[in-house]
Chain A
C-alpha cells in the first residue's frame, strides 16, 4: 500500500472519494464542463448519461489524468488531482503527484486499447510488474485469476487481434483490475461492440458492481443496464448535471424536460 492510499484511508469514510468543485474544461472556445460540481461516494456505482458532447467522457478522462482541467479543483480521496499543495496554496500538479493519484484509478476504454504486441496474459501482467514491481510469477497467477473471472483463461496466450471485440473488452476490464484500482472508470465500454457481444461485457461489469469496495463510474448508452447496476444516475447536459437521482426516479419520473426528451429519444427511438 503506498502513501497516497494511506492518507486517503485515514480520511473520514463519509468523505466523497471523487469531488469536482466548479470544474471548467474547455476545448478551444467550446465549454465542455461548465463549473461542474459532482461527487461520488466510496463504493458508489454511478452512471453518467446524456447527449453526445455533454461532457460525460470528459469527466472520466479528467479523472484518469488524460485531460487537464482549465479551472476549479478535482479531489480524489480528499487529495487534489490536478493540483498539489504548496503550503496552503494549490499549484498545478507535477508528474510525481499525478502518478501517485493515477494509481487509484483504472479505466476501460471504448476501443479497448489493448497492447497489440503482447499476449492477453502479458497485457495483464506488464503494468503490475513494470509499474507496481510485483514479481512475474505472482503477476501471472493474479492475471490468470482475473482471466478466469472474465471467462477467458483459455485465451491467455493469444494476441488481442485473435479475439472478438467482446473478448478484447473483457481483457480490457481485467487489465485495469490487475492494478487493483479503488475507482473503475468505464468509458462507453460496449459502444464499439457488435450487438450480440454486448451482453458478455455487461455481465462482467455487473459482477463487479457487486463488490462493495469498488467505486464505479460508468458512461454508457445501455439504459436498461444502467438502471440495474447503478446506485445513482446523473444526466449531463451542456457540461453540467441537469438532473440526478436513483435509477427508478430518473427513468420513471424525470423532473426536467431535457431529461424527459433525452430518455424518450434513447428509450423509444422509433417514436
Chain B
C-alpha cells in the first residue's frame, strides 16, 4: 500500500485532534483563570475549592482522569439516578481542559502575585474598586507574563490529546493505530504521525507567540 493512501484517514484524525486541542485549550484557559483567581480569593470556600481542584488534577494521571470521566462517572451517575454518560469528545475535552486548567491556574496565580505591590497601591490611591483594579490594572500586566508558559501548556495539551484514542475517539493517534493494525507498516505510519504532530505544534507555538505579542504590545512600544 502506498503511504499516500494513509493520508486521508490520518487527516480525518488530525481534524479531530485539532478540534480537541482548540476546545480543551480554550476551556482549560477559562479554568486556569477561574481557579487561579479563585485561589487568591479571600473567601475561604472559593479558595478551598480552587486549591482542591488544582491539587487533585495536578496530582493524578491524565489517563486515569480520562477513564474516570468516561467509564466511572456514568456508573456513579447511575447509582445516584443521573445520566452522566458523555460522548467521547465531551469526555476527552473535559479531561484535557480540567488537567491543563489546573496547571494553568498556578500560572495565573503566580503572574497575578508577581504584579508589583506598588501597582496595587497606585490603583487603591486612585480609588479603583477591587474588581476594576483586577481587570484594568492587575490582569493586563499579569497576562503577558503568563503567555510563555501558556504557550508551553498549549503544546503539551496538543500532545496529550493522543491519549483520547484510548476511549476510542478517532483522533490522529487512533487512526495511526488502525492503519498500523491493518498494514503492519509501523515505520511509515508513525513517522508520518510524528511529523504531523510536530507541524501542529509549530502552528500552536506560532499562534501563542502572536497572542503573546498582542497582549504585551505596550511593552514593545518605542523599543
User: B-contacting residues of A (Cβ < 8 Å)?
Assistant: 64-66, 95, 99, 102-103, 105-107, 109, 111, 113-118, 126-127, 130-131, 158-159, 161-162, 175-176, 179
Contacts and interface: CB of A to CB of B under 8 A. Distances in A.
A159 B222 contact: yes
Nearest to B121: A66
A1 B160 CA distance: 58
A111 B120 CA distance: 13
Contact of B125 (A105, A114, A162): A105
A103 B127 CA distance: 7
B191 interface: no
Given A117-B141, A130-B132, A130-B136, A159 B221 contact: yes
B108 to A, nearest CB: 17
8 contacts: A66-B125, A105-B125, A115-B122, A130-B128, A130-B132, A131-B126, A176-B125, A176-B126
Nearest to A103: B127
Interface string B103-146: 00000000000000011011111111110100011001100000
Query: Chain B binding site: helix, strand, loop or mixed by DSSP?
Result: helix
A117 B130 CA distance: 18
Given A109-B118, A111-B118, A102 B125 contact: yes
A19 B130 CA distance: 28
**Centre residue among B127, B130, B140, B141 by max chain A CB count within 10 A:** B127
Given A66-B125, A95-B130, A109-B125, 10 more contacts: A102-B125, A102-B127, A106-B125, A116-B219, A117-B218, A126-B136, A130-B136, A131-B129, A161-B222, A162-B222
Nearest to A104: B127
Contacts of A65: 124
Contacts of B140: 117
A66 B124 contact: yes
Contacts of A114: 122
Interface in B196-223: 218-219, 221-222
4 closest A-B pairs by CB: A127-B126, A113-B122, A107-B125, A162-B222
Contacts of A111: 118
Contacts of B127: 99, 102-103, 127, 131, 179
A131 B141 contact: no
Contacts of B121: 64, 66, 109, 113
A130 B129 CA distance: 9
Nearest to B132: A130
A65 B123 CA distance: 12
Nearest to B143: A117
Contacts of B125: 64, 66, 102, 105-107, 109, 176
A241 to B, nearest CB: 24
B124 A64 contact: yes
A103 B129 CA distance: 12
Nearest to B215: A117
A126 B121 CA distance: 15
B132 A162 contact: no
A158 B222 contact: yes
B132 A131 contact: yes
Contacts of B221: 158-159, 161-162
A99 B125 CA distance: 9
A114 to B, nearest CB: 8
- Kindly name the residue among A66, A95, A114, A127 whose own CB sees the greatest number of chain B CB atoms within 10 A: A127
Contacts of A126: 126, 136
A176 B122 CA distance: 9
Nearest to B218: A117
B218 A175 contact: no
A131 B137 CA distance: 13
A227 to B, nearest CB: 27
Contact of A127 (B128, B141, B222): B128
A102 B129 CA distance: 11
A175 B127 CA distance: 12
B60 to A, nearest CB: 37
A159 B219 CA distance: 8
